[in-house]
Amino acid sequence: MLKKGEGGVVLRHLIKQPLSVDELRVLAAKLGGPKELIAPKRRAEAGTLDGDKLLAWLAADGARVRRPIIVAGKTATVGFPTATQDGWEKIL
């Protein structure tokens, strides 16, 4: 279930409602590839998966996906690194 937050922000609990392969494919295109979507603690589990196999693996469990994900128009950011936080300020 998507939940509308303040200011028109849409919130989604990715553990309870994982992203589909198609949704992940769109995000991966905005972020530079599907490997950018892997949660840091899950990288070893992903092993050598790539492309559609990696997207299917990510779609099977929302906890495997790096969070938070912020999408505004054609721009997307993931995670908490300082560079990402700076990106939030530009897109929000």
How many other C-beta atoms lie within 10 A of the C-beta of residue 63? 12
Task: Locate the DSSP E strands across 1-92.
Answer: 2-4, 10-12, 69-72, 75-78
Residue-by-residue pLDDT tens, the chain, 92 positions: 455 556 677 888 999 999 999 999 999 999 999 999 999 999 999 999 999 999 999 999 999 999 988 887 788 888 876 666 666 666 66
What are the helix and strand counts (H, E) for the chain? 4, 4
Q: What pTM, to 2 d.p., does this model score?
A: 0.80
Query: What is the number of alpha carbons within 13 Å of residue 43 lying toward its C-beta?
Result: 6
